[in-house]
Amino acid sequence: MRSIWLAMCRSFEQQIQSTAFLAAFDRLRRNHPTLREFKTPAELVKHQQSTVPAPAERDRVLHALIETSRVRGDTASAAGSLLFLSMVPGLTLELQGVRSCFDSEEECVGEITLAFFEKVARWNIANRTHVAANLRFSTRRMVLERRMKSWADAQRISVGLDLARAFTDTEGPEEVSVADLWARLACGTTDYSPDDIELLPLRKLLSNHLGLSCDDVELLVLKGPCRQSWEAIGARLRVNPETARKRFQRLRDRVRGHSALDA
């Protein structure tokens, strides 16, 4: 990881030394008073990476770079490169903190870099304080949230494959029941969308083998695998939320007590 990360940082450092970048930096300085005190890109980066300036001073420069990055053209690109290099010390610590969550070094470095630039693009320009700290920690949070979603999606795919095998393996000893299918889909860590294809087998069993109406099937699916609120379910089914809750309890007992069914 250290070699990959350092190689990318060095590529940014080489970029800010190019003739084209120096020309863009001159225009950047002219367009923003805060940046005029730095004669070269390297001087700005050194200032931002140093522990000598107060956090408020570094935040002032970061905010100026974010403002400039919103303007189209080569100055925006230059501002983005300087923002990244300014945040290298903090991003390096965050990279080390999330490395164990990834299988490869390349993926970890890529996710950190992508999340950082997305956070820069979404930054509320009215916020001028704690810029460095918020950029750093919000980058880590985005990376971890995406990683957790990736794990959850992988778990859902695994469950879906197991169910597909159970429904198609006519020679296997396993029987699929409404209760088993309900448990697999409703007891995981991921909320399903009503349109997810994984819910089709459950809808089929609930309708064909339990003889439930379309509304009853939808009620079970929305509260079980989809984990929607009673208010959302009531609005979707056009019933009172409390009525939906009581109806769900009765239907759930039928599902749990249903005997095994041939797939």
**DSSP class per residue in 95-163:** HHHHGGG-S-HHHHHHHHHHHHHHHHHH--TT--SSHHHHHHHHHHHHHHHHHHHHHHHHHHHHHHHHH
126 versus 167: the higher-pLDDT residue is 126
- Please give the pLDDT value at position 150: 80
- Please give the pLDDT value at position 128: 93
**Does a structural domain hold residue 155?**
no
* Cα distance between residue 127 and residue 129, in whole Å: 6
| Rama region for 53: left / alpha / beta (φ>0; ψ in -120 to 50; rest) | beta
Are 122 and 186 in a shared domain? no
Are 112 and 198 in a shared domain? no
Are 137 and 218 in a shared domain? no
pLDDT band at 93 (very low <50, low <70, confident <90, very high): very high
| Rama region for 227: left / alpha / beta (φ>0; ψ in -120 to 50; rest) | left
Are 117 and 245 in a shared domain? no
Residues in the chain: 263
Mean pLDDT across the stretch 94-123?
92
Number of domains in the chain: 2
Q: What's the mean per-residue pLDDT of the chain?
A: 84
| Structural domain boundaries, residue 143 | 2-149
Are 121 and 64 in a shared domain? yes
Q: Which residues contact 257 (CB under 8 A, 6 or more apart)?
A: 179
Residue 170 has pLDDT above 60, yes or no: no
Are 193 and 140 in a shared domain? no
Which residue, among 129, 134, 100, 107, has the nearest Cα to 119 in the 3D structure? Answer: 134
Are 97 and 203 in a shared domain? no
Are 109 and 197 in a shared domain? no
Mean pLDDT across the stretch 210-219?
87
Residue 157 has pLDDT above 90, yes or no: no
CB-based contact 215:237 (threshold 8 Å): yes
- Please give the pLDDT value at position 263: 32
Are 84 and 29 in a shared domain? yes
pLDDT digits (tens, 9 = 90+) for 17-69: 999 999 999 999 988 999 999 999 999 999 999 999 999 999 999 999 999 99
